[in-house]
Amino acid sequence: MSLRSYSLLRGIHKTYGRKFGTAVKVKDEQATQVCAFRTTENNPVNHNTDHIARLYTVPTDVHQQLFQYGGLPQTFAKQVTTFQECALLIRQPAIEIMSYLSQADLTRPVNKYVLYGKYGTGKSITLSHILHYALMEKYILVHVYWAARWFKDFKEVANSILSPGCMDLPIDAGMWLKQFKSQNSKLLSQLDLKVSKDYVWNQREMTAQGTPISELIDFGISRMKYACGVADALIKELKLASTAGKCKTLVMIDGFNAFTSSHTNIHDDNKVMVLPKQVSLAVPFFDITKDDWCNGAIVLSVDEKANKDRRESYLPRYLLGKEGFEHLDPFLPVLVEDYNIAEFDSMIEYYKDRKWIRNLTPNGQRELELITNKNPLGLMERCKFL
Residue 247 pLDDT more than 90? yes
207 lies in the same domain as 354? no
3-class secondary structure, 333: strand
pLDDT value of position 270: 85
What is the arithmetic mean of pLDDT over 156-167?
A: 89
118 lies in the same domain as 191? yes
- Residue 262 belongs to domain with CATH number: 3.40.50
What is the arithmetic mean of pLDDT over 284-292?
A: 94
Q: Please, which residues bridge with residue 301 across strands?
A: 115
Q: Model confidence at 359, in pLDDT bands (50, 70, 90)? A: confident
242 lies in the same domain as 259? yes
pLDDT value of position 309: 79
Q: Is the link from the previous residue into 330 a cis peptide, with omega within 30 of 0?
A: yes
CB atoms within 10 A of CB 25: 10
- Burial classification of residue 95, based on how many CB atoms lie within 10 Å of its CB (0-12 exposed, 13-18 middle, 19 or more buried): buried
Residue 26 pLDDT more than 90? no
pLDDT value of position 165: 85
What is the arithmetic mean of pLDDT over 95-123?
A: 96
pLDDT value of position 227: 95
Q: Model confidence at 358, in pLDDT bands (50, 70, 90)? A: confident
Condensed to tens digits (0 to 9), the pLDDT of residues 318-338 reads 999 999 999 999 999 999 999
Listed in sequence order, the residues at least 6 apart from 258 whose beta carbon sits closer than 8 Å to its beta carbon are 147, 148, 150, 151, 276, 306, 307
Residue type, 115: L
292 lies in the same domain as 159? yes
What is the arithmetic mean of pLDDT over 371-383?
A: 92
Q: Model confidence at 285, in pLDDT bands (50, 70, 90)? A: very high
**DSSP-derived pairing of the beta strands 199-200 and 206-207:** antiparallel
Is residue 1 domain-resident?
no
317 lies in the same domain as 331? yes
297 lies in the same domain as 375? no
CB 145, CB 71: distance < 8 Å: yes
253 lies in the same domain as 377? no
How many domains are contained in the chain? Answer: 2
Give the C-alpha distances (Å, rounded to integers) separating 321 from 13, 187, 275: 75, 36, 14
Percentage of the chain modeled with pLDDT above 90? 73
Write out the residue range of the structural domain in which residue 359 sits.
Answer: 341-384
Residue 23 pLDDT more than 60? no
Is residue 47 domain-resident?
no
231 lies in the same domain as 263? yes
Residue ending a domain, among 309, 335, 361, is 335
Is residue 4 domain-resident?
no
Residues in the chain: 386
**Residue 335 CA to its chain's centroid (Å):** 17
Is residue 34 domain-resident?
no
312 lies in the same domain as 347? no
Is residue 35 domain-resident?
no
Is residue 162 domain-resident?
yes
Residue 28 pLDDT more than 70? no
Condensed to tens digits (0 to 9), the pLDDT of residues 172-226 reads 999 999 999 999 999 999 998 999 999 999 989 999 999 999 999 999 999 999 9
DSSP 196-260: SS-EE-SSS-EE-TT-BHHHHHHHHHH-GGGHHHHHHHHHHHHHHHHHTTS--EEEEETTGGGGG
Listed in sequence order, the residues at least 6 apart from 60 whose beta carbon sits closer than 8 Å to its beta carbon are none
281 lies in the same domain as 174? yes
Is residue 69 domain-resident?
no
Rg (the chain; Cα; Å): 25
Residue ending a domain, among 319, 335, 351, is 335
Is residue 30 domain-resident?
no
Question: Lowest-pLDDT range, 23-37, 168-182, 242-256?
Answer: 23-37
3-class secondary structure, 19: helix
Is residue 375 left, alpha or beta, with left meaning phi > 0 and alpha meaning psi from -120 to 50? beta
Residue 144 pLDDT more than 50? yes
321 lies in the same domain as 372? no
Percentage of the chain modeled with pLDDT above 70? 90
362 lies in the same domain as 274? no
pLDDT value of position 35: 55
